[in-house]
Structure formats: C-alpha cells, structure tokens
Structure 1
C-alpha cells in the first residue's frame, strides 16, 4: 500500500516538474531569439530542430521505427498531420508575447485558450475525441477561471507601469495560441494510437513543425545566417535547451496521462506552469525582466487552479 502511494506521489511530482518546464522553455527561447537576430521564427526553428533530434533518439531507444506506412495518407483523416503546425503556432506565439506580458501571463493566456477550445472539442467530439458534455459544474469552473484571470491581469501595483490597453492584443494572441495548443493534444493523441507509440507521434509532430518553420523562416527572414550569432563566446550554453525542454514536456505528458489520467495530468502540469512562471517573473530568471507579483495575483492563480481542476476532473 505504501509503495503504491509512494509511486503515485512520484508521478504527481513528475507532473508538476513537467509543468515547470514550459515557462522556462519560453524564457530560454526568448533569449535565443534575442541572440539570433531577433527573429521569433528562426528561434522557433532552432528550438524545434533540437527537439526533433532529441525525440528521434527517444523514438529509437523505445524500439520504434522512424518511418510509417504510406497507407496512413489514405486511410486516416488529413488532420492527423496538423499537430506540428499547431505546435509551431503555440511555440512561436509564446516567444512573441513573452517580452510584453511576462512569464505569468504568457502561461495563463494560452491556458485560457486551451480551456475554451478543450471544452469545444469535448462537447462536439472534434478530432475523434471522446464526448464530454458542457455541464453546470463545468460552467462554474469557467466562471471561476474568468474571475481568476481578471484578478491576475487587471490587478496593478503602483510600481507596475505597464499600459494594460497596449497588452490587449498580445493577450488575445496568447488565447488564440492556446486554442491551437489544445487542438494539438487530440491530434497527436490520435496519431499516437495509429502509430502505436506516443513517442513516435511526438517525433513526427516535431519533424513536421521543423519543416514548416524552415519554410516560414526562409520566406520571412530570407536567411538563416543569424543562427550563427547565437553560437560562440558571450552566449550562454542554455539558450539551446528550449527544444530539449519541449521534448521532455511532450514525453512526460505521454507517460503520465495513461498512468494517472489526462485530467489529473493537466491540473498537475498547470500547477507547475503557474509556480514556474511566478518564479521567472518575480526573480527575473534566465535574463527575463522582473515583473511584480502581488498578493492579488497569487490569489488569482489559486482561483485559476481550482477552476481548471473543476473543469478537468468533473
């Protein structure tokens, strides 16, 4: 009995640690962007490339083939290949909005979009997802979520000179990005079922995302030459870890969801997200700008966590 409880506590701890990865990854990728010519597309491309390489080795170590049957192109819906595109939108948007919103809002705005889109997917069984009706309990969770967001976003300390009106479009962009991220989960989940391996599915998703970003970077930046600016003396080694952190996050979720349930995994990851984002903002970790975190923000984050628990677990 004690061994079983200890094992579950370790899994819960892993879920929280997985959540810590995301705000750190965003900060790391933002630093990479600043040192690679200021292009969010180039930074995302480099991060995706490294993540793809990490997942390539993870796939091989799991005993899976890197290839798949061409029959999938005709036997499966076309949307199973969209996970990489959705991931590109989510990652690149996070890099874009981080300097304007800080770590906390860069976490909670996409989470808001994820919750909204997640309930749409559940209610209408999009992407072959299981049906989960919109109930009164989930409505209560949504109301609490809105209250928590307002407490975090609208509360303003005298020392915080940020013009919130100028942040609105970045906040909206974060919500839209979260909706794409929510769509990525069932798409990659279905691909994992088809391939009989969530790790192989994550590799395919990252590979597709990398190819898309190579094309976008070539079209928008017209060059990849600034990648060398992030290499060498004066550049911290950790700016290249964003892709590895992304791969760790994907693999952790793939491992935890079957063990403790998707809803519990989401709540634990969110707890790690919120804690990590507060630490990044409060202490200016990884060269991030310090942003004040008042008591009202802490209360708002707790309210958000309760709201997500209600939505995901009931």
Structure 2
C-alpha cells in the first residue's frame, strides 16, 4: 500500500505498537490532558488583554514553555540522548523534514487563544476550535496521515462525531450573548477554527516524531522551537512594518500565573503525542474535547470569569460529550450485532 505522505523516500509507514493498556484508560488520559486546554486559554486570553497584544501573549506562552523544555533536556540524560537523534531521524527518512514545523500549527492555536478569547469568550472559542479539530480528526484518521494506521469512518464514529459537535454547541449556548457584530464574529472565529483544524495534523506529526526520537518530550521540544521561531518572526515583521510599540518590558505583569500557559501547553502536546499512537487522532481529539468541557465547567465554578454562566445545558452538553466518547470507543462488531 502506498504511503499517503508521498514518495517512498520519506520512509515506510510505521504501524503503532500494540498496547496492553485498555483503550478506556488511554481515553481517560486524553480527558485529563484536555483539561489543560481551557486553563491555558483562560491564561493566554487574560495575558493578551493585559498586554493589549495577542501576538505578544502567544509569543510569551511559547517562550516560557521553550525555556522549561530546554532546561529539562539539559538536566535529564535520556532527553539529551533523544534530542541528539532529531537530525539522524530526518536524514535517515524516518520522518519528513517538514514535521519539524509542526509547532507552527500549535502557534496558530495559541495565537487564536490570546487574540480572541478575551473578545469572544472561551465558549465561542471552544465551538470554533472543536469544530475544526473534529473535522480534521476524521480526515487524518481516514487517510492514515503521518504514518498512522488508517481508521475507517464507521457509522458509529460518524454518529459520535456529530453528537460531540451538537453537545459542545448545546453546552455553551448559555454563554453566547456576546453582543458582537455578526460579521466581526464570523471573521474572529476563523482563527480558532483554523487553529483547531491544525491540531489534528499537529498531533499526528508529533506522534510519528515521538516514535522516531524515542521520547514524546523531544517531539514537544521541537514543537516549541518551531512555534516560538514562527511567532518571533511574525513579531519582527510587525515591528518593522508598524514600528516599535507596546508592550514594553515594563508592561508585563508580575503575577506568576500569567506565565503558566507554556507549561500547560507542554502537558497537552506531549500527551497527544503519545495518545494518537494508541487511540488514533479522532478519539484522542474527542477525549481532549471532553476534557476541555470539563475543565471549562470547573473553571467557571471555581474561578469564574466575568460573564461566566454555569447552567443546565452546560452540564447536559458535557455529559453528552462523554457519552459520545463511549460510543466511539466501544468494540462495535456489526456481524455480532446483526446476529443478536
């Protein structure tokens, strides 16, 4: 079978190594990892509002994450050894060179958080990002992108995907009273939609890269290097075109929690790198979507932001999303069902 990546020189398709850990446990890990996403969104959105510059907030988030990963790599011998295998993995064709740029997709997602969450709110951002992520998850699994196993779009997977989208939309309906002009709203949601759409491709590339490097944290490090570089380049172009402007160093807040966005990004990127090799991109995405809803619900209850609403649709939508995950992961056997 031909590799959908292209020429054979890009390396043979590698099937994920079978795992003895049951799928529900992997799915539970995806839910836990997904909880980090709304927390990161709330932090990056708040930093973007505080600085008055979403690009600066996104660059700060990626930069802090990169500092943490570089420190870990310097201190842990196994990570140093894995990092030395990055260039050989590319030279030997175990991964295509352009996988090194997977972090640019993550940078787009974080930029969407920092630039739009403060305006749209976490609810509308979640709808746009989840829609893009779910659609691309189906596509990535169907073609076996990034050396992954081809996973058929079964009727139950399609039903679970539609149920997830409907559940997310219903869960956030109490929060949609933004008062934003509809045309401006449509333009603004394109950024989180594009960020969510790119997440599935990023996770698939990271899964293949983590296998080639021998450590998921090394794939995460490469993500943060390329993402930070891309954002820094855009920042430089902006400075040249628009001239030096705020934020200045003195504008950055002293509160430590504004700088947790990067470390939280490490959590869900590294987790997705591992999970896609066991669950596939779609199920990993559904699990993390459930985590996003649970995390958003918890944040609105424990540390509510202005305008936060915890209503019955929010709870029902969250439970329905968890039900969609169960439907998608059960071992549905059509012959056995027909026999019964």
TM-score strictly above 0.5: yes
Counterparts in 2 of 1:254-293, with a 5 A limit?
254=273, 261=279, 266=285, 268-281=287-300, 285=304, 288-293=305-310
State yes or no: 1:43 paired with 2:61: no
Structure 1 range deviating more: 81-90 or 220-229: 220-229
Counterparts in 2 of 1:98-117, with a 5 A limit?
98-117=117-136
State yes or no: 1:304 paired with 2:321: yes
Match of 2:201 in 1: 183
Contact kept, 8 Å, 1:103 with 1:281, in 2: the verdict is: no
User: Taking CA–CA contacts closer than 8 Å with sequence separation of 6 or more, which of the two structures ends up with the larger relative contact order?
Assistant: 1
Distance 1:110 1:30 in 2: 15
Question: 1:95 offset after TM fit, Å?
Answer: 1.8
SS of 2:150's partner is coil
RMSD: 3.3
Contact kept, 8 Å, 1:270 with 1:305, in 2: the verdict is: no
Contact kept, 8 Å, 1:145 with 1:303, in 2: the verdict is: yes
Contact kept, 8 Å, 1:19 with 1:273, in 2: the verdict is: yes
Distance 2:132 2:66 in 1: 26
Distance 2:90 2:263 in 1: 28
Distance 2:202 2:99 in 1: 9
- The verdict on how the C-alpha distance between 1:144 and 1:13 changes in structure 2, with shifts beyond 3 A counting, is closer
Question: 1:253 offset after TM fit, Å?
Answer: 4.1
Match of 2:97 in 1: 78
Distance 1:291 1:204 in 2: 36
- The verdict on how the C-alpha distance between 1:167 and 1:291 changes in structure 2, with shifts beyond 3 A counting, is farther
Distance 2:138 2:92 in 1: 29
Match of 2:17 in 1: none
TM-score scaled by length of structure 2 = 0.75
Contact kept, 8 Å, 1:39 with 1:221, in 2: the verdict is: no
Distance 1:9 1:137 in 2: 17
TM-score scaled by length of structure 1 = 0.81
Match of 1:204 in 2: 222
- The verdict on how the C-alpha distance between 1:160 and 1:77 changes in structure 2, with shifts beyond 3 A counting, is closer
Match of 1:4 in 2: none
State yes or no: 1:63 paired with 2:78: yes
SS of 1:129's partner is coil
SS of 1:98's partner is helix
Distance 1:26 1:256 in 2: 21
- The verdict on how the C-alpha distance between 1:136 and 1:271 changes in structure 2, with shifts beyond 3 A counting, is closer
Deviations 1:136-162 (A, max 9, x none): 112212332343244235x458x9463
Pairing partner for 1:19 from 28, 31, 34 = 34
- The verdict on how the C-alpha distance between 1:16 and 1:214 changes in structure 2, with shifts beyond 3 A counting, is same
Question: 1:50 offset after TM fit, Å?
Answer: 1.0
Match of 1:148 in 2: 167
Gaps of 5+ in 1: 1-7
Contact kept, 8 Å, 2:48 with 2:57, in 1: the verdict is: yes
Match of 1:236 in 2: 255
Question: 1:47 offset after TM fit, Å?
Answer: 1.0
SS of 1:291's partner is coil
